[in-house]
Structures are given as C-alpha cells and as structure tokens.
Amino acid sequence: MNREFSHEGRKTLDAPGPVMINNGVVTINAANMHYRDLNLLLKTHSNLAKRINIYNVYGQRYIGTGLRNNVEIHVYGTPGNDLAAFMDGPTIYVHGNAQDGVGNTMNSGKVVVYGCAGDVVGYAMRGGRIFIRDDAGYRVGIHMKEYGEQKPVIVIGGTAQDFLGEYMAGGILVVLGLTLSHGETHKAKFVGTGMHGGIIYIRGQVTHVGKEAKITELEENDVALLKPIIEEFCSYFNFNIDEVLAGEFKKIVPLSTRPYGKLYT
C-alpha cells in the first residue's frame, strides 16, 4: 500500500512573510512560529477565509481549537497535541502525522489524517468525525459520548493500542486493520474496558476485551450503518471499498449501561 502522506504531503513553503491571502485562500508559514501566534492568526482569518493552508508545522499545538465555522484547514507537517480540541464546525486535513489528543472534546466538524495519530484520539468527543489513514495510539475513543443527533465517529485505517474505547459512553469506533499482515491479530488489550455505551467495529481478530464488554457478530443494521462510514474513509485515502468491506468484522458492545453501579450502592 502507498504510505505517502498524501498527494500534497511533502509540500513546504518558502515565503517572505508569515501570511499571504489570495482569492479567499489564506496561506500561513508556521516555521519558527509560536503556537499562540499561529492560533491567533487562525482565529483572525477563519471567519472570512474559505480555506487556510498552514505550512512548516512542527509540533504547534491546539491548532483549530475552539473554532466555530465551516472553514477548511490544510496542515502540512506534524501538528502538536490537542488538534481540533473543542472544535465546532471546521474540516482539518493533516498531510502528515498527528500527535496526541486529536479531537479532544470535539463537538462537530471533521479531521482527516494522512498518516498516524498518537494517544487519546477523540477523548470525550461529543460529535463530528475523525478519519486516520494508518495507526493510532493508546486509549482511542476514551469517554466518547453521544446525545440526540450528536453521534461521533472515529475510523482508524490501521490498528490501535491498548484500552481502545475505554469508558466509552456513545458513538462509533471503527478499526480496519489495513496495516496488519494477512492473518495478524490486533494486539490491543483491554478493549472496551468500562464501556457503557456506543459500538466498536473491528475488521479482523481481537482477543483481549475488557470484562465490561463482549464480542458479537454483525447484523443487517450494522452493515447498513458501517457502509457509508467506510465509503467516506475510502474516498479520502483511495482504498477499495469492496476489498475493505470483504473483510471479517466483529462488533464489541457493552454488557451494561452501568458497569460499576454496584460500587455506588
């Protein structure tokens, strides 16, 4: 499989100044820029621009945090922790890897990562969608929740580490295993520990599930739910939808909506 970040992923920018504006497109050169200055520029321009390109990103954190509009943001490089935290609307494309805390308490919008992501992706995520082409770290989807029409979705193209879906209260987690070798089992342990809501779908085999969750087979409604989510994932990363759907999927659901209720009675 092609593991380049994206068709644009190796771009850098050599510009005389930090900001250029052309036909509603804002271009920011983030080289040597403090994260506070970068985020101030984002906040200033996000209400008017239709697209913001940020080049030479080397670990600046909180990119997109708290933004509340429909701007499209393209990040070239490696954003730091808490990308899209508390975000409510924008779409962020990361042409590279992302660090920890992507989508922390995100309310709506979308994040598409053309690489890997770190730990605690989607921590307490309340809405929106996160698509990661390759692998993710520990505690993905911890404390995910949903309310009414707000149903967050995280899709990981590769695999994830331990405590996937820990204390999950709502939403949909999908792990596709596309970076695993044929017949290789997902290594994540304690999947669904403390889980009391939501659904985890795993393509391939997983063996270590927390005692608060169980592995079941898919039903017709699961297939109908999964197909458009995986179609969207494939549209970003040029995977073959039929090949992905042909894999064997398992569903992990909670055993109880109050797994620790007896501790408080």
- Which residue type is seen at 218? L
Tens-digit pLDDT string for the chain (265 aa): 445 445 455 455 554 468 888 888 999 999 999 999 999 999 999 988 999 999 999 999 999 999 999 999 999 999 999 999 999 999 999 999 999 999 999 999 999 999 999 999 999 999 999 999 999 999 999 999 998 889 999 999 999 999 999 999 999 999 999 999 988 999 999 999 999 999 999 999 998 999 999 999 999 999 999 999 999 999 999 999 999 999 999 999 999 888 887 777 6
Enumerate the domain spans of the chain.
1-101+109-115, 116-265
Q: What is the pLDDT of residue 7?
A: 46
CATH code reported for the domain at 116-265: 2.160.20.60
Name the 3-class secondary structure at 101.
coil
Whole-number Cα distances in Å, 212 to 114, 118, 158, 254: 33, 25, 24, 6
Distance (Å, whole) CA 142 – CA 151: 15
Whole-number Cα distances in Å, 28 to 76, 118, 211, 222: 10, 25, 48, 42
Q: b/e for 135-163, b at 16 or more Cβ within 10 A?
A: bbbbbbbbbbbbeeeebbbbbbbbbbbbb
Which residues, listed in sequence order, are joined to residue 55 by a DSSP beta bridge?
A: 29
